[in-house]
Amino acid sequence: MQRRKFLQAGAVGAAATALASPAIAQDKRQWKMVTAWPKNLPGPGVAAQNLADRITALSGGRIEVKLYAAGELVPGPGVFDAVSEGTAELYHAVPAYWGSKSKGILLFGSQPFGLRADEQVGWLAHGGGQALYDEMYGRFGIKPFLCGNSGPQWGGWFREELNSAEDLKGMKFRTTGLASEMMTKLGVAAEAMSGPAMFQALQTGALDAGEFIGPWTDSALGFYQVAKNYYWPGVGEPSSAEECGVSSAAYDELPDDLKQAVAFACESLYNPVWTEYTTKHALSLKSMVEEQGVVVKMFPEDVITAMGNAAKEVIDELRQNDDELVQRITESFVAYRDSVGSYMTYADNGQMNARAKLFGY
| Helix or strand run (H / E) with residue 172 | strand 172-174
Q: What are the tens digits of pLDDT across the range 237-258?
A: 999 999 999 999 999 999 999 9
State the pLDDT confidence band at 25, using cuts at 50, 70 and 90: low
**Where do the domains of the chain lie, and which CATH numbers do they carry?**
10-152+238-279 (3.40.190.170), 156-237+292-355 (3.40.190.10)
How would you class 327 by CB atoms within 10 Å of its CB: exposed for 0-12, middle for 13-18, buried for 19 or more? middle
The set of residues, in sequence order, having a beta carbon less than 8 Å from that of 279 and lying 6+ positions away, is: none
Number of other residues whose CB lies within 10 A of the CB of residue 136: 24
Binding site residues, as ranges?
A: 153, 174, 211-212, 237
Average pLDDT, the chain: 93
- What is the average per-residue pLDDT within 64-93? 98
pLDDT above 70: residue 12: no
User: Which of 118, 135, 54, 136 is CA-nearest to residue 92?
Assistant: 54
User: Which of 287, 156, 286, 280 is CA-nearest to residue 226?
Assistant: 156
Helix (H, G, I), strand (E, B) or coil at 279: helix
Question: Which pLDDT score is estimated for 157?
Answer: 98
pLDDT above 70: residue 7: no
User: How far is the C-alpha of 318 from the C-alpha of 104, rounded, in Å?
Assistant: 8
Binding site residues for Na(+), as ranges?
A: 212
- What is the average per-residue pLDDT within 209-222? 98
- What is the average per-residue pLDDT within 330-356? 95
Q: What are the tens digits of pLDDT across the range 302-328?
A: 999 999 999 999 999 999 999 999 999
User: Which of 121, 119, 117, 180 is CA-nearest to residue 152?
Assistant: 117
Binding site residues for substrate, as ranges?
A: 153, 174, 211, 237
